[in-house]
Amino acid sequence: MEINAKMVKELRDGTGAGMMDCKKALKECDGDMEKAGEYLRKKGIASASKKEGRATSQGLVGSYIHAGGKVGVLVEIACETDFVARTDNFQDFVHNVAMHIAAAAPLAVTREEVDPTLIDKEKEIYRGQMKEQGKPDAIIDKIVDGKVDKYYSEIVLLEQKYVKDPDTTIGDYLKSIIGELGENMQIKKFSRFQIGG
């Protein structure tokens, strides 16, 4: 199939990827826009994993105040260079993550940051529920582990479904931005403030 400039521009507008990457993706996927978009996303995620471990000493502190001023968020996101920190894509990412935190109210960035006593309490509750339902002891642990994983996906920022695109997690969104901008990035920390919360 003939790949023309209009197709490349359309894919670029939709993904934010570079012109050459878009052209290559369209060639690889025989001009199929949807498959080319997935191809770019996978490529971004693959290249993101290569960048893990590189120092992130630059970045931004972003803020978001929800309409009405009842919820506010501060978030620190680090990258490798000041150049990338000043790009529109990076600044949009910081803003979107702050807005997501305001909406989804995570408790921690990663699983490791979650207070273990909170998880122990949840396990105890789930175990009690399973016993109440008469589940055999042999399968209770597996059910509890599954419920704990689901709980993590609700309270851990990187595992939450992104409010603007529920088909992706914040972790995947981060990886796609790393792939797009070519630098390692980390969501370092956040604070969420809520009136009466």
Residues 126 and 94 in one domain: no
Going residue by residue through the chain, which has 197 residues, state the pLDDT in tens, using 9 for 90 and above: 788 888 888 877 776 666 667 888 888 888 888 888 888 777 764 455 555 666 778 999 999 998 789 999 999 999 999 999 999 999 999 999 999 999 999 999 999 999 999 999 999 999 999 889 888 888 988 999 999 999 999 999 999 999 999 999 999 999 889 988 888 899 999 999 999 86
Cβ atoms < 10 Å from Cβ of 178: 24
Q: In this structure, are 85 and 182 located in the same domain?
A: yes
In a shared domain, residues 97 and 24: no
Shared-domain flag, residues 65 and 98: yes
- The tokens for 151 are 């709980």
With left for phi above 0 and alpha for psi between -120 and 50, is residue 105 left, alpha or beta?
Answer: left
> In CATH, what number is assigned to the domain containing residue 82?
3.30.479.20
Full-prediction pTM beyond 0.75?
no
The total number of structural domains that make up the chain: 3
**Range of 140's domain?**
115-154
Which pLDDT tens digit goes with each residue over 48-97?
555 566 677 899 999 999 878 999 999 999 999 999 999 999 999 999 99
Residues 40 and 97 in one domain: no
Same domain, 101 and 62: yes
Determine the distance from the C-alpha atom of residue 58 to the mean position of all C-alpha atoms in its chain, rounded to a whole number.
19
Confirm if 151 and 143 have CB atoms less than 8 A apart: no
13/44 same-domain check = yes
CATH code of 132's domain? 1.10.286
Residues 103 and 65 in one domain: yes
Q: What is the CATH number of the domain that holds 21?
A: 1.10.8.10
